[in-house]
A and B are shown apart, each in its own frame.
Chain A
Amino acid sequence: MGPKPLALQDLEAYWTKEAGPQKWIRVCMDTGGIAAGARQVHQALIDARDDWMLDIHIRQTGSLGLSYADPVVVVGDASGVTGILGNMDPESARELMRLLGNGGRALLEDRMIVPHVRGRSFSGPPQTMILVKDTNAPHPEDRTRFFQELIREELQVHGLADQVGVYRAMDMGLYQKGICMQLLPSRVTYSNVSGPDVRRIIHESLGEGQVLEEMLESGEDPQERIVLRHCGHIDPDELDDYLCAGGYRGLKRALLDMTPEEVIGELKTSGLRGRGGAGFPTWLKWRNTREPLAERKIVICNADEGDPGAFMDRSVLEGDPHAVLEGLMIAAYAIGADKGFFYIRAEYPLAIQRVQRALDQSRAAGLLGPNILGSDFSFDAQVRLGAGAFVCGEETALIASIEGRRGSPEPRPPYPSVKGLFGKPTAINNVETLAAVSVILDRGGEWYAGFGTEKSRGTKVFAVTGKVRNPQLVEVAMGTPIRNVIEMCGGAGEGRRIKAVQTGGPSGGVIPRGKMDTPVTYEGLRELGSIMGSGGMLVMDERDSMVDVAKFYLGFCVDESCGKCAPCRIGGFQMLKLLEKIHAGNGKREDLDTIRDICHCMRSASLCGLGQMAPNPVLSTLRYFEDEYLDLVDAGGQAKRGAR
C-alpha cells in the first residue's frame, strides 16, 4: 500500500475488481495455526514452489475456525475454493505443491476437509472419490480403510481403477452418518453407505451418471458466516485484500449517504445486540452516547476477551481486523466521536500486531485521519493493551485501565455513555458486534434482521471446546438449537455421552443433556440459568464432575476478582473453600446452605457483573446436578463413619 491516500474512485475500483485466474494457496496463520506449525507449512510451500518455479500464489490468511485441524491450508483458483486441508506439515505441504504443480487437485490422504459443500447433480464424469470416516464405528480407521479397499476392488472390476482415485478425508462435516462418499468434481455425496451400496454407486453413479436420491446427502452448510465472512479468505495484513472483498463499503455508505441518525436507525432495524455478553441493543447504546452534549466523544472496541475457552474475538481480529476497524469508525460517526481505542489483551500479540498494521495502513490510505472520504468526519484510533485482568472487560474497569489505574469497576450510573473514558461520553462495543456493524451497513439492517429470532437477531459465533470431537468456531443464526451447534462440531469426542454444555463461561451456567434442544437466544439461555455470554461453549461428558467444573469456574472468578467489593472478594473465596472441602469429601449438608447464602449475597450485593454472575456456575450445577453434590457430601460422611 503506497502512502497515497485513496480517493473514492480508487475504492470503487477495488470493489468491482475481478479476481485473476491464478491458482492460490492460503495458509491459516492465526495464533492457533501458528502454534500448530503453520509457519513451517507456509515456508515449505514457498520453498517447494520456488524450487519448482511454479506460478502459484501463496499467502497468509486468518482462521477458518477449524481449530481441530490446525495447521490448515486453503487451495483455490479463480473459481473459488477447491480444497481445504488440515493437519498439514512441511512434507505434506511439499506433496501438495507437487500435486498442484502437475495440474492436479489437492488430494492428500487423511487431510481433506470441505464441510458442507455438496452437489446435487453430475456435471461431467466423476474422477475421484473421497471417503468419510464412520466415526461411530468401533474402529473408524480400520473400517474406512476396509471400504477404501472394497471400492478399489470394485473399481478394478469395472476397469476404472486407473481413472478414479479413492482417498480418505479428514473431516467433511458429516457425523453419525456411517461411511460417506463424495464424488468429485460434482461433490455429489452419499451417506450411510453399505457394502452393497458401493457396487450401486460405482455402477449407477460413476458409470451411468445417475444421482441416487435415497443415499444423497444434501444438507446445506448449517453455518451462516457473517462475522467470520472474511476469516480464512483474505490476508489480514493487506488492506487491498479487504477492499477487494468489498471492505469499507459500509463506511462509505454511512459517511456519504447517511446521517448519523440514519446509521443508528439502520442498526435498530438490524436488531443487533451487543455480542460482548449482556446483549444490550447496539443502536440504543449509540443513541445514548450520541445524546449528551460534549465537546468530544470516544469509541472503544472491547477486545479483552478474557473468558477462558473463548477465542472468537481473537480469530476475528487476527483474520479480519479491518472489518472491526470499519465497524468502529461507523460507530464513531454515529455517535459523533473523533477518537477510538482498541483495548486488546496483551496475551494476544498477533491480534495486536494485525490491528496495529490495519490502523497504519488505513491511516496511510486516508481512511483514518481528517475528513475521511472527503466527508466532515475525522477520526483516528489507537491500540491500548490489557495486562492480564479479566475484569477489565467490564466497561468501567476497562476505562480505568486505559486511564492508567487499577481495573476496578465503578458504580453505574453514571454510565460510560454519559461519563466514560477521560470523563467523555464513550461507547464500548465488542469485537464481534463491530464486525457485524460493518456488514450491516453494507448489506442493510433488514438483510441482517432476516437471520435469527424475533428478539435475538443475526448470527453468533461460538467457540465450541471441551469434550467435543472437533473443537472449532462456528457461526450460526440465533435460535439454532444447542444440539445442532454441538453436532456441527462432530458431537461428543472420546466416544462418551455428553452430560452437559456450559455456556457463557465463568458467568454462565450448565445446560444439561435434557435441555439441549433449547435454541440459543439471549432469553432462552437465561431461562435455563445460563447466559449467552461471549460465546464460549464447553462440552462435558459423563466423566466430568459437575462439582469440579463449578469449582473451576468459581476459582477463575476468585482469581480474577478485582478485590474491591466484599461480597465478591470474600464471598467467592469462601465459597471456593467450601466447594474444595466438598470435593475432597469433607463437606456437610449445612455447607450447601452456606453456599446458597453466599451465592445469594454475591448476586445481590456485588458491584459488577463479575461478582454478580460468579455464582452462576455453582447455582446452575446445583440446580441440575444437586445429587452430585449430595453424593459427595454423603459419601464423605459415610467414609468417615466407616473409618470410625
Chain B
Amino acid sequence: MIQEAAMIRAKINGTPIEVPEGTSILDAARKAGVRIPTLCKHPDLLPTAACGLCIVKVAGQERMPRACATMLQPDMEIITHDGELTRIRRTILELILSTHPNACLTCGRNGNCELQTLLGEFGVRDDRLEKYLRDVPPDHSNGSIIIDFAKCITCGRCVRTCQEIQNVWALSMLNRSINTRMAPAGDILLADSPCIKCGQCAAHCPTGAIVEHDETATVWEALRDPEKYCSVQIAPSVRVALGEEFGYPPGTNLTRQIYATLRRLGFHAVFDTNFSADLTIMEEACEFVQRFVHGKGPLPLITSCCPAWTDYMEKNHQDFIENFSTAKSPQQMLGVVAKTYYSEKMGLDPAKHFQVSIMPCTAKKYELERTDEMFASGHQDVDVTLTTRELARMIKQSGLVFREMPEEDADSPLGEYSGSGTLFGATGGVMEAALRTAHYLVTGRNLAPDAVNILPVRGLEGVREAEIDIEGTAVRVAVSHGMANVGKVLDKVRAARERGEDPPYHFIEVMACPGGCIGGGGQPYGISDEVRRRRMAGLYADDQGCARRFSHENPAIQRIYKEFLGEPLGEKAERLLHTRYHPRKSYLR
C-alpha cells in the first residue's frame, strides 16, 4: 500500500550516498555522517529557512541553498563544510550574538542551549559587533512558562509550534526588519492570550527565551521545612524520559531508580501517578459505560486528563463541554486521595501534607488551581508541579549521582499500578486503558490475552480512528494529539450533529502535545518523532512487563474503593474525583 519512494544517488563531501527521493540535504548529510549546523530548523516543523546557518555549496550553482529547506536532487555534489562556509556561519552567529545578551550564567538553558553550543563550537571569542538588545521586559504573567524576549533569536519555532502544531495562536511574530519580534498575540500578556500553557513553545525553542516557570526553590524549601510531610508523585511519561538528562537513551524505563532518588531528595512518601491513572480509568470507563450502554449523557465521551486540552476546549469548543469526562486527571486524583485517604490512614495532618507532582507538563502547573474542585481535600490537592526538567535540575543540585541510584519501590498503596496506568503517558494510552476496563465492565470478561494490546489506537498518526468490538457492538473511537488535530475530529461530530445523525465516534481521546505526555512541554529537550517513538516504546514495554494489565485488577484500586471511595461514580467519588468545565474567554484583552 505504501509506495516505496524512489532512491536517488548523490555525493556529499565526495562520499556517494543513496537516499529516498524527497530527503532534504540536511537529512541526507546526517545519513552520510555529517551534521550541518542548524538553529531555526526543528524536526517537528517544516523548514522556515530563517537562520541561514545550514547553507551548503552545490557544484555548478552560484547560490548556496539552505540544507534544511532544499531537497537533495539526483547527482548533486554537495559541500557541507569548508573554510568559506565556516566563516559565513560564524558571521551569522556573531550577528545573532550581537542582538543577544551574554547572560548564560543565569539562563534557564545554560548548558543545553542550541545557541550557546554553536557559539562554543564555532569559537566565537569576542563581541566584534556592537550589542543591540531588545528592551522588552520578560513576561511572567503565565504561571507555566516564562518568556524572556531579550533572549529570543526570532527563529520562529515557538510561533509555528503554537500556530501550526497547536492551533492556539497565542504567539505571533510582530513588526519587521530589526524590530521583528516574537510576542503573545498582538502584544498582550501571555496570561491574557489564548495560551493553553502546553509548553510546546518552550520545548521547541532553541534558546532560553521560553522556559518553564521553575519552582524547584519552593520544593526545596518545603523539603527543608520540618513541619511538612512531603509526598511526591511521578507521572507515567516521566519514567521513560528523565534518564535523557543523565545520558540514558530515550525510552529507558527508570521508574524504580527515580523512586529511590526521590526518597533521597527528602520526600517522605513516593507515589506513582500510574496508580491514580488506574483510578481515573475506573471513573472514566464507568462514565463511558453509563453513556454508551445506559444512554446517561451525551456521546461521544471525551477524555479530559490533559489540562491544556480542557483549557483549549473551554476557550474554543464550548459546545463540547457536555461531552467531557468529568473525571479529574490522574495528577489531581492522586493529590486528593493523598490528602484524604492516605493522610487519614497515616494519621497525617492534611494541612501539613505537601504534595509535589513530577509531570511532563507545564500546563499541570496551571491545573493545580484550575477550579474550586482542585481543592476537594479541603486544601490545595497538589501543591507544586515540577516538570521532568526541573526534577533533573533538583537531582543535579542535590549531588546525587543518578546513574548510581539503587532501585526501590514506591510507597503503598498509592504507588501500585497496572499496565493500563502506565499507558497514559502516550497518545492513545488513555483510550487503550479505558477500553480494556470498559470491555470488562460491559461484558464482565477481560479482553483475550492476544487482544489486550489495542494496536489501532497506538502510533504517531495525528488522528487515529478505530472500531473496537464489545460483544458484537462496535465502539467507534478516535485519538488525536497535537492540538491542531482536534478540530478535524470535532468537526466531524458537529457535522453529524447538524444532520441529526449518530455521532461518528463514541469515545475520543485528546492530548495537547504531539505524542501525548511523553512529548510534553516539560520533558527533556530535543524532542522529535524518533525520541517520541522510543519513549512510547519504553511505556509499552512497562505495560507488557506488568503482572496486571487492567486498571480494575489493580489491588490497591480495589482496596481504595472498598475502604474509602465506595462505588465508581458514587457520591464520594463524585465529590473527590470529578470536576466541572466552564466556558472561558480566549482573550482577556
Stretch at the interface among A111-119, A330-338, A594-602: A594-602
Contact B130 A564, beta carbon cutoff 8 Å: no
**A411 touching B88 in the complex, CB below 8 Å, given contacts A563-B177, A574-B95, A604-B64:** no
A561 to B179, CA, bound (A): 10
Cβ-closest chain B residue relative to A562: B176
Contact A567 B176, beta carbon cutoff 8 Å: no
Can you list, as one digit per residue, whether each of B36-47 has a CB less than 8 Å from chain A (1) or not (0)?
000000000001
Stretch at the interface among B48-56, B344-352, B440-448: B48-56
Q: Give, as a whole number of angstroms, the nearest-CB distance from B451 to chain A.
A: 43
With a CB–CB cut-off of 8 A, which chain A residues contact B154? 563, 566, 569
| A570 CB contact (under 8 Å) in B55, B64, B96, B128 | B96
Contact B176 A600, beta carbon cutoff 8 Å: no
Cβ-closest chain B residue relative to A409: B49
| B180 CB contact (under 8 Å) in A411, A569, A601, A605 | A569
Cβ-closest chain A residue relative to B132: A573
A567 to B179, CA, bound (A): 14
Asked if A533 CB lies within 8 Å of chain B CBs, one says: no
Interface members, chain A 528-579 (any B CB < 8 Å): 558-567, 569-574, 577
Which label, helix, strand, loop or mixed, suits the secondary structure of the A interface? Answer: helix
Cβ-closest chain A residue relative to B57: A604
**A561 touching B176 in the complex, CB below 8 Å, given contacts A567-B92, A570-B95, A600-B91:** yes
Q: Give, as a whole number of angstroms, the nearest-CB distance from A509 to chain B.
A: 17
Contact A577 B130, beta carbon cutoff 8 Å: yes
Interface members, chain A 398-445 (any B CB < 8 Å): 406, 410-411, 413
Interface members, chain A 498-533 (any B CB < 8 Å): none
**A561 touching B177 in the complex, CB below 8 Å, given contacts A569-B154, A570-B98, A604-B88:** yes
Interface size class of A (residues with CB under 8 A): 20 to 34
Asked if A170 CB lies within 8 Å of chain B CBs, one says: no
A558 to B132, CA, bound (A): 14
**A597 touching B50 in the complex, CB below 8 Å, given contacts A563-B176, A567-B95, A573-B178:** no
Asked if B219 CB lies within 8 Å of chain A CBs, one says: no
A574 to B87, CA, bound (A): 17
**A598 touching B91 in the complex, CB below 8 Å, given contacts A389-B176, A564-B180, A574-B129:** yes
A431 to B195, CA, bound (A): 44
Contact A566 B176, beta carbon cutoff 8 Å: no
Can you list, as one digit per residue, whether each of A583-615 has a CB less than 8 Å from chain B (1) or not (0)?
000000000001001101100111100001000
With a CB–CB cut-off of 8 A, which chain A residues contact B69? 411
Asked if B66 CB lies within 8 Å of chain A CBs, one says: yes
| B177 CB contact (under 8 Å) in A406, A558, A601 | A558
Q: Give, as a whole number of angstroms, the nearest-CB distance from B576 to chain A.
A: 48
Q: How many A-B residue pairs have CB under 8 A?
A: 99
Cβ-closest chain A residue relative to B47: A411
Contact A563 B95, beta carbon cutoff 8 Å: no
Asked if B173 CB lies within 8 Å of chain A CBs, one says: yes
Q: Give, as a whole number of angstroms, the nearest-CB distance from B374 to chain A.
A: 40
With a CB–CB cut-off of 8 A, which chain B residues contact A606? 52
Contact B48 A564, beta carbon cutoff 8 Å: yes
A601 to B53, CA, bound (A): 10
A413 to B177, CA, bound (A): 24
Contact A598 B95, beta carbon cutoff 8 Å: yes
A562 to B176, CA, bound (A): 5
Contact A594 B179, beta carbon cutoff 8 Å: no
Can you list, as one digit per residue, whether each of B280-319 has a CB less than 8 Å from chain A (1) or not (0)?
0000000000000000000000000000000000000000
**A567 touching B180 in the complex, CB below 8 Å, given contacts A597-B87, A601-B91:** no
With a CB–CB cut-off of 8 A, which chain B residues contact A561? 176-178
A598 to B129, CA, bound (A): 11
With a CB–CB cut-off of 8 A, which chain A residues contact B216? none
Asked if B156 CB lies within 8 Å of chain A CBs, one says: yes
Contact B175 A563, beta carbon cutoff 8 Å: yes
Binding site for A on B (CB under 8 A): 47-53, 55, 63-64, 66, 69-71, 87-89, 91-92, 95-96, 98-99, 128-130, 132, 153-154, 156, 173, 175-180
Given A389-B176, A572-B178, A604-B88, 16 further pairs, Cβ under 8 A: A558-B177, A562-B176, A562-B177, A563-B179, A564-B180, A565-B52, A566-B96, A567-B92, A569-B180, A570-B95, A570-B98, A573-B178, A594-B129, A600-B91, A601-B88, A601-B92
